[in-house]
Structure formats: structure tokens, C-alpha cells
Structure 1
Amino acid sequence: MLSGVVAALHLGKVSPAIPALQASLNLTMVQAGFLLSLTQLAGMLAGVLIGVFSDGMGLRRSIISGQMILCLASVIGMGARQPDELLMLRALEGLGFLLTTLPTPGLIRQLVSRERLALHLGLWGCYVAIGTSIAFIAGPTLIETMGWQGWWGVPAICSAAMIIWLVRAVPSDRQRQPPESASARWTAVPSEVWTHRLWTTLKASGPWRVGIAFAMYAGQWIAVIGFLPSIYADTGLSVPMAGALTALAAFVNISGSTSAALLLHRGISARRLLMVGYMCMAITTLFAFGQFTQGMPVVRYGAVLVFSAVGGVIPGTLFMLAVSVAPSERTVSTAVGWVQQISSMGMFVMPPLLAKLAGWAGGWHWTWLASGLASLIGLLLAAGLAQDDYVSSMPEKEYL
């Protein structure tokens, strides 16, 4: 989980740095939106292939390779002089992010007993909220003292430390004994193995539906939380205060993910959790950005907190489903990769879309409409779940 938190630190480092990047690199708001979303480019274009690659190369080896890429991209980014340079490096960071995070659910599945799998995968769903919260808390102060270039070096150091820890603490792929026979994984020619894993995953309906549901959540969450520092800075709040408020908004997302882990572990329906989460996100964005709450900052910020906290039940639930809908043990990273590829489209599109919408409308008061449409699609997908879609005993195959 620590590896995922470090990867999420790279993901969240941009938001607190947007004002500094606008001042030093003349970054536009639309470019800032793409800077937030470009880490999703690799996932959007090739998430499933990266998942296949991770399954083939080994889970531990893939995670270490991803951390190396994240470290290298951040170090190079410290010398960027134009927005385009940072944009290209953010796309490279997206590759490292996926190599780090896609194999982790499969690794958890190998290392954790079935009875505790729901709990651990639900907790894994917190990694983005924890990493981005750290970025929002530490970023403003470190940017003021070291500049944005120094801030870019912090997650690079964390990735370097994580590489050392992974090499020493996590058993190698050969040393681990997976639940399924290792010989079954390698009986075919390598090209046949990966194409079979890919086709088996793509023809299953579960990963498609989980991926679309994830896109409807992640796209609006990363857009709303990612732009909060800039939104609050525009209202006259100091950069540290805006960063602290945003950090709290991201941090409370953890309460939703941990709650989902505990509730799924106790056998609560995934359908129920998803419906509550999407309905809450739709309603709270109306209060957070609607014109009828203008001049009511406490109400608006409270709505943002509820948006993130209750919406947090969605990723924990969907991570559990993403693993359970994998056609086999050997396709977990492939299935998670396809889910990530679909969800990355939402995370890639929503931030610049909201920025464009805000520019067209002259403010953020129509944000609730885009968020509401995304939540409606998520609700429709959640409503299609069977009442017995999930039980904590984890049967061999479960479908969304």
C-alpha cells in the first residue's frame, strides 16, 4: 500500500503547484487541466496492455519498474522550462503510475487470505486519497520554501526509497507461491499466453462495467478536488489555506474507502454502497457549486467534504469488484488494467472539460451538471447489480 501512496503523491503533486506554475511557466488553466489528467494518458491508451505486461513480467518486478519511471520523470521535470515539457513528462509518469498500481491488487490477492481479501482491497482503495492528501498538505509549504522544482524532487526521493524497500521486503515473484499452479501459467508459448489473457479479459462483461463505473467516479473526483486550490485561491484565500482545505477534502475520502472495506467484509451489498456513493456525489456537487449557495462558504465546503467522504465508498467497492470479475488468477492485472484504461478516460476528460466549462460560464457554477451526469451513469450501472453481487467469502468468479 505504501508503494501506491507514493505513486499517488506523484499524481497529486500538480494541484498545489498550479499557482506557482502559472507564475513561472505562464501555464493556462486548460493546460493545468491537462497537467492534472495527462498521467491518465498511458492508462487511457494502453491500460489493458500494461496490465498484460505486468502479469507476464511479474507483479513485484512491475511495481519496482513503475517506481523507477516515476522517480526518473520527476527528476527530469525539475529542469522543465516550458509547459509542454511538463506535459510530456506527466504522460511518462502515467506509465510509471500504472506499472506501480495495476499489479498491486493481484499481489494483495496472492499474499492475503481469502477471508481478509475484501478488507485489504478496500483499504487499498485509500491509496489515492492518502497520497494526494499528503501532497495537498506538504506541497504549499514546500513550494514556498523550495520552489516548485524542489517540490518535484520530493516524490522522486520517496520513489527511490520505495524501490529499496520493495527489493528488501517483498518476496520475489519466483519465491512467492501463487494460489494457482505456477506451471499452468507458463505452459503455452509467451505470445499465446498474453494474447489469451487479453482476449479472455476483453470478452468478459464484468471488467467493462466496473471500468465505466470507475470512470464516472474518478473523473469527477480528480477534477473537483484537483481544481479546489485554484478555486479557493481565486476567492482570496492564501495558498497554504487553500492547500489545507483541499487536503482535508481529499483526506476524508479515506473514511469512505475504509468504511467500504469494513462493510464489504461484513457482507453488505456492493450495489447498495455504490448507489449511496453516486447519489451523494450528485447532490453534494449541486450544493458545492450551485448558484443558490453563493455567499455560503461553510455550506459549500461542507458539501465538498461530504462529496469526497461518502463518495469514497465507491473506489473501495470497485477495487474489490475489479479483482473479483477477473476471469482467472492469471488475468487479475489484465482485468484491473482494462478497468484502469476505461476509468482513465474519465480522469483524462473531466479536468479539462470542467476547466473549459468554467471558462465558458465565467465561473464554476455549472460544475454540478457535469458531475451529476457522471453520477447518473454510475447509478444506472449500480442499479443493474444483483442483490447477491458480493459476499465476503469470495467465490471463484463474481460479475458486476
Structure 2
Amino acid sequence: MTDALRERPGRIDPAFVVILAGVSAALHVGKLPPALPVLQEALGITLLQSGFLLSMVQLAGMTLGLAVGLTADGIGLRRSLMTGLLVLFGAGALGGWAQDATSLIALRALEGFGFLLVSMPAPSLVRQLVPAHRLSAMLGIWGGYMPLGTAAALLSGPLVIFATSWQVWWWGTAGLSLLMAAWVWCAVPSDNQRRPVPALDSRGTDREAWSQRLHQTLRSPGPWLVALSFAMYSGQWLAVIGFLPSIYAQAGVAGSASAVLTALAAAVNIVGNMASGRLLHRGVPAQHLLYTGFCVMALGAFLAFATLPFADGASLPPTIRFAAILLFSAVGGMIPGTLFSLAVRLAPGERTVSTTVGWMQQWAAFGQFTGPPLVAWVASGAGGWHWTWLVTGACSVLGVLLARQLGRQLEPGTAV
């Protein structure tokens, strides 16, 4: 790709437009929790149905991540991104008219598909839109798209719903996706402009067999290692952040304060993502960042949840425990930023970057799908949250072991 396409004087960097598209897609994932109490009252949604609404996006990622990654590599990265934004627009717009839980659950599944079409090609697009010396920093910023979108939804959703209705909240996020699709169309160069593409058939799809890209990806150790590492991170992060409102409610914290504290805990994750990009750019080995992230997550969860034998089973003061949660999320944020960089580097070929990211996303969704129930099961058996650190600590230990193996896949002394 030429420098003229990378740098457009007077215009926002196309790579930032791609990142903003990811944030707008993440809003659809995070828009549900603020609306759940209203939906339960307005549509008569049960607690079980609420659980399906929350998990449906992750279920789509857990089952379709690799397939969507293959599709993105085949039909074109920009085309996949725009299609995903349009799917999010359509599903969100229709969701605002939903009259029952069944239709809303089905549309949440469709939103999950649209989210994958946006998130799969984005790292590969960023790779093609920025010079090599800026790649690590930009991928670190991209790694923060999910916590940024989630935090924005947690903060703005209650305000919009209180001032208007949950339907307006749904239509607003849908309209934002439509605007982002138009911006991507205007600002991001087409696949043919960015790089030569293989011959396409009459339907506009890649003639290269998808099975070849699939085999090339799954027979390489790099995609497996980054995918399993992401599962170890995502499962424990969502378990801790996702249950914070319940934990605070049990502690008697007001709902408004709980929303702000939870949004802050999610938002500081962006700090680690951006820091990882800068540190990788300065030559800090990716393996060291993963070690640090997993070890600090284990320590933060222990300080936040464990009871202290030398203090007659008491926990640390609430202020210190919340600071530990912030540490858990902020430093842990170095893990996804680093893994996105590694996914781009360890993909077995240029045409398999989205497929590798899809495989990583599929395992990340698996972690998010299984982590919270596991923590809840342990908490139910223990009669409290004080053994949560044991589950998150086990994930961190496995993450450190995987990081060790990832280090062996990289050339000694070479920064990502």
C-alpha cells in the first residue's frame, strides 16, 4: 500500500476510523445491561431469558468466530466491516420494535453476527493502513475498543433510557452504526486500492479455497497459543467486571454509584491496551507484557476478594479492594493489546490474519461464556465471593504457561 493511502493530509487517519467502527460495534454488546431492568418490566422478560440475552452475543462468537474470520478473508476486509455495521444497524433498528423476549433474543444473535463481521477484519485492516513503525501502537489502541464501547454504553445507556426509552437507546446505537458504515465507505480505501487481491468469481468471493486458509491456520501453533491465551484473559476479566454490580448490590451500594464504579473498572482497561502498544513499539518483549498482565490480574483479584487469615477472616477495606479491581483491569489490559499484535504477527500468512483473529475471538468468547458461570458456581458453593481469586488465579497461571510457549514462537530479542 502506498504512503498516499496511509496518510491523507487534513483527514482523520483511516485506521482510526476502523477503530471507531469497532467501538460502535462494541456499544451493541454493552447496550443491554443498562436496559435489562426496563426490559424485564416492559416485556415481561424473566431472569433466565435475561441470561440468554446477555450470553447470545458471546454464543455467536463462540460458534462462528473462525467461520466469520474465513469469510472476512475471502470477501474482503472493508466489505466485511461495512456489512457488519449494516447488520448491526438492521438488527438494532428492528430490536427497537420488539414486543417479546423471543424476537429480541433472535435479534441479539444477529447482532452478535454483525459484531463479528466488524471485529474480525479490523486488525488486518489496521495492519494495511498504517506504516510498520506505527503498527504495534495502533493495534494497542484497537485492543481497547471493547472496554471503551462497554464503558460508554454503561455510562450513557441509563441516561438515554431515563430521558427517553429503551427503544430510543436501541435506535440510537443502530443509527450510529449506519453513520459509521458511511464513514468507513468514504474514509477507508477499498481492498483493491490497498493491495492486489486474488481473482474473484462472479459472486465477488475469493476463488482460493477457504479450506486451505483454515488448514494453514489450524496447523500452526501461533494461532492456537494466542487464542487460548485470550480465553484465559477474557473469562476472568468478564467474570470480575460482570459481577461487580451484583457484588455492590449485595454490599448495599446504590445503583447509580454501582454503575459509575463498574464503568470506571471497565474503562481503565483501555490504559493497559494503549500502554501495551507503546511498550511493544519501544522494544519490550511481548512475553514480558503477558507475564506482567497475568500476574497482576492474579494479585488484583486476590486483594479484591480474598479473606485474610491473619485478620480473623476479614477482607481489606473497600477502598483498597476497589483499587485492586482497577489494577486488575488496567494492567490486565496489556494482555489483549499484546495478543492482537501477536495474532497479526503469528498468522501463518497475509490472507489468514482475519482467520487467526477469528479463531482468537472464538476462544475469547468461549472464555467469556464459561468464566462467569464458573465464578458464580464457586461463589454459590462458598457462600460468598471470597474464593473468586482462586478461579482467576488458575486462569492467570495457565496464561503465564501459554505466554512462555508464545515466547518460543518469537525470534529471540525481536519486538513485535
Both proteins in one fold, TM over 0.5:
yes
Match of 1:182 in 2: 197
2:373 and 2:415 map into 1 onto residues whose CA distance is 41
**Which amino acid in 2 is paired with 1:112?**
V
Match of 1:397 in 2: none
2:182 and 2:143 map into 1 onto residues whose CA distance is 24
Q: CA deviation at 1:161?
A: 1.1
2:51 and 2:377 map into 1 onto residues whose CA distance is 9
Q: CA deviation at 1:123?
A: 1.1
Q: CA deviation at 1:170?
A: 1.2
Q: Pick from 282, 307, 331: which aligns with 2:352?
A: 331
- 1:256 maps onto 2:272 in alignment: yes
Q: Pick from 389, 392, 395: which aligns with 1:368?
A: 389
**Structure 2 counterparts to residues 15-94 of structure 1, below 5 A:** 15-25=33-43, 31-94=49-112
Match of 1:145 in 2: 163
**Which amino acid in 2 is paired with 1:262?**
R
Match of 2:405 in 1: 384
1:274–1:382: 8 Å Cα contact kept in structure 2?
Answer: yes
Q: CA deviation at 1:320?
A: 0.2
Distance 1:348 1:15, change over 3 A: same
Q: CA deviation at 1:54?
A: 0.5
**Structure 2 counterparts to residues 251-400 of structure 1, below 5 A:** 251-292=267-308, 294=315, 296-386=317-407, 389=410
**Which amino acid in 1 is paired with 2:191?**
D
Match of 1:194 in 2: 210
**Structure 2 counterparts to residues 111-126 of structure 1, below 5 A:** 111-126=129-144
1:182-234 CA distance string (max 9 Å, x none)? 34899xx9554322111111111110110000011112212222232333234
2:251 and 2:170 map into 1 onto residues whose CA distance is 26
- 1:241 maps onto 2:257 in alignment: yes
**Which amino acid in 1 is paired with 2:280?**
L
- 1:166 maps onto 2:191 in alignment: no
2:75–2:206: 8 Å Cα contact kept in structure 1?
Answer: no
1:21–1:27: 8 Å Cα contact kept in structure 2?
Answer: yes
SS at structure 2 position matched to 1:365: coil
1:363-384 CA distance string (max 9 Å, x none)? 3333222212211211111123
Q: CA deviation at 1:330?
A: 1.1
Match of 1:231 in 2: 247
Distance 1:184 1:149, change over 3 A: closer
1:15-63 CA distance string (max 9 Å, x none)? 3333434444555656544433321222211211111111111111101
Q: Root-mean-square deviation (CA), in Å?
A: 2.4
2:211 and 2:362 map into 1 onto residues whose CA distance is 17
SS at structure 2 position matched to 1:237: coil
SS at structure 1 position matched to 2:284: coil
Q: Structure 1: which 5+ runs fail to align?
A: 395-400
Distance 1:345 1:72, change over 3 A: same
1:69 and 1:84 map into 2 onto residues whose CA distance is 19
1:36 and 1:151 map into 2 onto residues whose CA distance is 17
**Which amino acid in 1 is paired with 2:219?**
K
1:19–1:230: 8 Å Cα contact kept in structure 2?
Answer: no
1:357–1:366: 8 Å Cα contact kept in structure 2?
Answer: yes
Distance 1:73 1:230, change over 3 A: farther
1:375 and 1:29 map into 2 onto residues whose CA distance is 31
2:139–2:277: 8 Å Cα contact kept in structure 1?
Answer: yes
1:14 and 1:387 map into 2 onto residues whose CA distance is 41
1:315-373 CA distance string (max 9 Å, x none)? 00000001111111111111111111122111122233334444444433332222122
Distance 1:15 1:322, change over 3 A: same
Q: CA deviation at 1:296?
A: 2.4
1:36–1:351: 8 Å Cα contact kept in structure 2?
Answer: no
Q: Structure 2: which 5+ runs fail to align?
A: 1-18, 309-313
- 1:210 maps onto 2:226 in alignment: yes
2:199–2:206: 8 Å Cα contact kept in structure 1?
Answer: no
**Which amino acid in 2 is paired with 1:257?**
N
SS at structure 2 position matched to 1:236: coil
2:235–2:369: 8 Å Cα contact kept in structure 1?
Answer: yes
Q: CA deviation at 1:244?
A: 1.0
Q: Pick from 106, 112, 118: which aligns with 2:124?
A: 106
**Which amino acid in 2 is paired with 1:297?**
P
Distance 1:272 1:151, change over 3 A: same
Match of 2:152 in 1: 134
2:300–2:327: 8 Å Cα contact kept in structure 1?
Answer: yes
2:349 and 2:342 map into 1 onto residues whose CA distance is 13
1:15–1:229: 8 Å Cα contact kept in structure 2?
Answer: no
Larger mean CA deviation between 233-242 and 59-68 belongs to 233-242
Larger mean CA deviation between 53-62 and 381-390 belongs to 381-390
Larger mean CA deviation between 119-128 and 66-75 belongs to 66-75
1:70 and 1:361 map into 2 onto residues whose CA distance is 40
SS at structure 2 position matched to 1:384: helix
- 1:220 maps onto 2:220 in alignment: no
Distance 1:190 1:103, change over 3 A: closer
